[in-house]
Amino acid sequence: MKPVNWRSVDLNFLVAFAALMETRSVTRAAEKLSIGQSAMSHNLSRLRTLLDDPLFHRQGNEMQQTARAFELEPVITPLLDTIATDVLTPVSFEPKQYSGPIRIGLTDYAELVFAPALFDVFREQAPHCQLSCHPVDRVNYREALKNDQVDVVLGAVQTEDPVLLMENLYTERHVCLFDPHSTGLSAPLSLDDYTKTPHALV
DNA sequence: TAAACATGCCTTACCAGTGT
DNA sequence: ACACTGGTAAGGCATGTTTA
């Protein structure tokens, strides 16, 4: 097949061709596309060069299609329809139709809190998706996202990375449990006492 | 002769390349 | 990053050509 010089190909030529086929008039086709008669005539001239065929012959006040134009019409018309409907119309995401993978990175705590509910929600709203959960922690979650190992991360993590988008899901209240005898502390616990005392974050 | 198409020339917009 | 420049293409104006 001969290589195509796409620089010389313009989608508007096909639109002009369709308008000419419909109106069989340069002037009316120009009106239909809201351009001047000369502009449409130029378009027809470029089409003729591109397709190496006169495409239309003037016969009185009407432009008669050539055999080549009749050949091209059933190709070009559905092509324009396809472009209008399948290419230029924005597609909306339908979770129920989606059958691809969804990879969620979860910290230990997030897995404990969210995993069962996530499973139920995905099974109901995106029953065909391939849901997988991946263990991450506060250290490696950035790498997991940037290396495309997960699509989203759930957990008590913070990021200043402008590439990563973050949304706060909820605020949780933490409590401090301590043994007054072994620590020698008493309630209420001051911040100073808390920070001075060895402790574990669970 | 009027209507419609074709064409030369011009303006404008866009893009790529180049220099600062 | 920005400005400048040259090439290219689209579209309009004016006018020539064609046809009934």
Closest nt to residue A12, judged CA to C1' = C10
Nucleotides of B under 7 A from a protein CB: 3-8
CA distances from A17 to A4, A50, A139 (A): 19, 12, 60
The CATH 3.40.190.10 domain(s) of chain A lie at 101-172
Strand B within 7 A of A55 CB: no
Tens digits of pLDDT across chain A (202 residues): 655 666 666 777 888 888 888 888 888 888 888 788 888 888 888 888 777 788 888 777 778 888 888 888 888 888 888 887 777 776 777 888 888 889 999 998 889 888 888 889 998 999 999 999 999 998 888 888 888 889 999 988 877 776 778 888 878 777 788 888 888 888 888 888 888 888 776 6
- CATH 3.40.190.10 correct for A101-172: yes
Nearest to A21 by CA among A66, A53, A59: A66
Give the CA-to-C1' distance from A165 to B18 in angstroms.
39
Strand C within 7 A of A60 CB: yes
The CATH 1.10.10.10 domain(s) of chain A lie at 6-87
Strand C within 7 A of A10 CB: yes
CATH domain A6-87 topology: Arc Repressor Mutant, subunit A (1.10.10)
